[in-house]
Amino acid sequence: MIKEEIEKLREQLNHHNHLYYLESNPEISDFDFDQLLKKLQELEEKHPEFADPNSPTKRVGGDITKSFNTVKHDIPMQSLGNSYSEEEIQEFINRIYKELESDQVEFVCELKYDGVAIAIKYDGGKFLQALTRGNGIQGDDVSNNVKTIKSIPLKLRGVYPEKLEVRGEIMFSNAQFEKLNEEMIANGDQPYANPRNTASGTLKLQDSSIVAQRGLDCFIYSNVNSKGTSHYEAVTGLNEFGFLTPSVKNNRFKICSSKKDIMDFIHYWGEHRFDLPFAIDGIVIKVNSLEQQRLIGSTAKAPKWAISFKYQAEQVETTLNEIVLQVGRTGAVTPVAQLEPVLLAGTVVKRASLFNEDYIQKLDLRIGDTVQVEKGGEIIPKVTAVNMEARSSDSVPYTYPELCPECNTPLERKEGEANHYCVNEVSCPPQVIGRMQHFISRKVMDIQGVGDETIVSLFEAELIKAFIDLYGLTYDDLIGLEGMADVSVKKLLQGVEDSKNKPFQTVLFALGIRHVGEVVAKTLARNFKNMDALMNASEEELIGVNEIGKVIVQSILEYFSNPHHQALISRMKELGFHLEISEEEASQSSQKLQGMSIVISGVFVDHSRDELKKLIELNGGKNSGSISKKTAFIVAGDKMGPSKFEKAEKLGVKIISEQDLVKLLNE
């Protein structure tokens, strides 16, 4: 009965995920989807015997991968030859005609996505493994992170082959990348330069739950195991299995039968590429017939039957009218160029980040200068140079402001840091609002009924000046405010009350201490057990914590030495926040596994996988998803993967049972 219920929930969630992410036609609300997912998570935790590595619950991530195994590709992942001129494309086409002794050749033209190449394998319709390109011969196993990408099916749909390998490009949509950078700027961090490098870095993050939050996407452009006759059929046929493939309907994937067709495709997207919701850096031209591809062959590095045409990055000149300072929630100040509006890459650009004072000085930027602007990765506008010949003779060097533009507090720049900071965290509006928005956000305290706009409204109504003020709000305070009716007020108040039950590590993360993110907060909570111990910890004690560096230590010491923060913690104690790990966690906690990297594999009887991972973390160990020479031991259950067993034997890694682990921790 339970097994059937779990399988039914998985089927429902896979169905709704496909409708939402691949067909843009959802049947249920996000809330209803989350409720189904929550129910499945609860059932899987209670019944680990029905565990499935490809369950929809794996979409949220949570696995920690300290190092990525290098795995050989079954078929090498070759690169494409690049061309920057139409003449070279003409030469490529003529070479194909000559090679095949015919000018009646079909080509397929498709977009060249600006992302990270990935190879994904399926066995029996189930997700098996995902590898990066690497050096083309072997790549890194990033399976845990790729599983979190919602446009990649964990279980294939329809009638599928027993073995399948597809290849595609993992990337950010423009909207998702801009959202990510807005969060970075709001947190006082430097924005990412371009989506491709950010996608690459995200795929190598150790914590898959962070990968899940970033919202990567994936377009599939190759079916390695195709038994068909053409590339076009091989790719479009993958839609039936649940993959996101290039759209045929809107001229993004097209059969071309002549040089003119190919050139028209290149010219069209050269003009319209900035209308796309994602970044491309060119066009790929391939011979369509798979048999003709085999006849033409490949070099050691690239197929001879395909080539890419790359567009030049678009640059424009405009006038720098002003430099303004933008303040983030941590007090970090980012200079922003106010430009004379100019059309660049399909959008009107008015602003561009200047990063910090050193960047301004390096370019010797001056108000009134004619500057060169381009879009990093075709998305982020940046000033790259000054037209010195156009500079006015009466221009003066730019002097970096000494006061915060929001509250007139003197700015500070710490030794070794590029950014200036406003230290008035108590009353500088962007900082106050930013910290409160961080506190209530979904991945932190997740307060139901409170959003970013709600925080701004309450702040402007002078009802809150810090997140702690949320806990003093009453029904009478809120009813009648814009957008606040009886139901929404009650939901907000209940959400605020429920948030006090969040665990200690979440509360610690919610405080918004500089450099203390989710992972660091967990480490600190595990090592110090409660807020008092952490507040009173010395520099030596903090540095002694594994993976806590000097910069983080200094930030923690500064935070807790501030009387304002001390009063804040006292108020949280009075309100009943969880400022210590639970008695159960405390009784299970030790440093017996300090510094050890441990792998969990298989299905267990007495504990769920999450329970075992929690035990390992509570006792100072680190959960790893892959086996290496640094692995201390493997906790193995039933159905441990044969590949992991073989690798453990090869590297001489010890294998123990869940009972052995419990015995070790109880000694």
Q: What's the pLDDT tens digit per position in 470-527?
A: 999 999 999 988 889 999 999 999 999 999 999 999 999 999 998 888 878 888 998 8
Tokens representing 162 are: 């027993």
Could you tell me which CATH number the domain at 315-403 has? 2.40.50.140
Q: Give the residue among 244, 171, 274, 245 at the shortest CA–CA distance from 214.
A: 171
Active site residue 112: yes
* pLDDT digits 0-9 by tens, 310-319: 887 778 999 9
User: Does 169 score more than 60 pLDDT?
Assistant: yes
Report whether 618 contacts 586 (CB < 8 A): no
Q: The tokens 């409170």 sit on which residue?
A: 450
d(CA 449, CA 506): 19
Tokens representing 265 are: 């495709």
pLDDT band, very low/low/confident/very high, at 591 (cuts 50, 70, 90): confident
Q: Which helix (H) or strand (E) holds 408?
A: none
Catalytic residue among 8, 46, 72, 112: 112
pTM of structure: 0.55
Instruction: Give the model's pLDDT for residue 30.
Output: 65
The topology (CATH level 3) of 81-310 is D-amino Acid Aminotransferase; Chain A, domain 1 (3.30.470)
Architecture of domain 504-587: Orthogonal Bundle (1.10)
* pLDDT digits 0-9 by tens, 91-128: 999 999 999 999 999 999 999 998 999 999 999 999 99
User: Does 529 score more than 80 pLDDT?
Assistant: yes
User: Does 625 score more than 80 pLDDT?
Assistant: no
pLDDT band, very low/low/confident/very high, at 346 (cuts 50, 70, 90): low
Q: Over range 194-219, report the average pLDDT.
A: 88
User: Does 32 score more than 90 pLDDT?
Assistant: no
CATH superfamily of the domain spanning 2-60: Helix hairpin bin (1.10.287.610)
Q: Over range 147-169, report the average pLDDT.
A: 94
Q: Which CATH number fits domain 590-666: 2.60.40.1120, 3.40.1160.10, 2.60.120.590, 3.40.50.10190?
A: 3.40.50.10190
Instruction: Give the model's pLDDT for residue 590.
Output: 76
pLDDT band, very low/low/confident/very high, at 132 (cuts 50, 70, 90): very high
* pLDDT digits 0-9 by tens, 45-93: 888 888 888 888 877 766 667 678 889 999 999 988 888 889 999 999 9
d(CA 77, CA 51): 33
pLDDT band, very low/low/confident/very high, at 183 (cuts 50, 70, 90): confident
User: Does 378 score more than 60 pLDDT?
Assistant: no
Give the residue range(s) of CATH 3.30.470.30 domains in the chain.
81-310
Q: Give the residue among 297, 114, 253, 137 at the shortest CA–CA distance from 195.
A: 114
d(CA 39, CA 46): 11
Instruction: Give the model's pLDDT for residue 210.
Output: 85
Give the residue range(s) of CATH 1.10.150.20 domains in the chain.
504-587
* pLDDT digits 0-9 by tens, 290-344: 999 999 999 878 899 999 998 877 789 999 999 999 998 889 899 999 999 998 8
Instruction: Give the model's pLDDT for residue 23.
Output: 65
Please indicate whether residue 540 or residue 608 has the higher confidence score (pLDDT): 540
Q: Over range 636-663, report the average pLDDT.
A: 80
Share of the chain above pLDDT 70, in %: 95
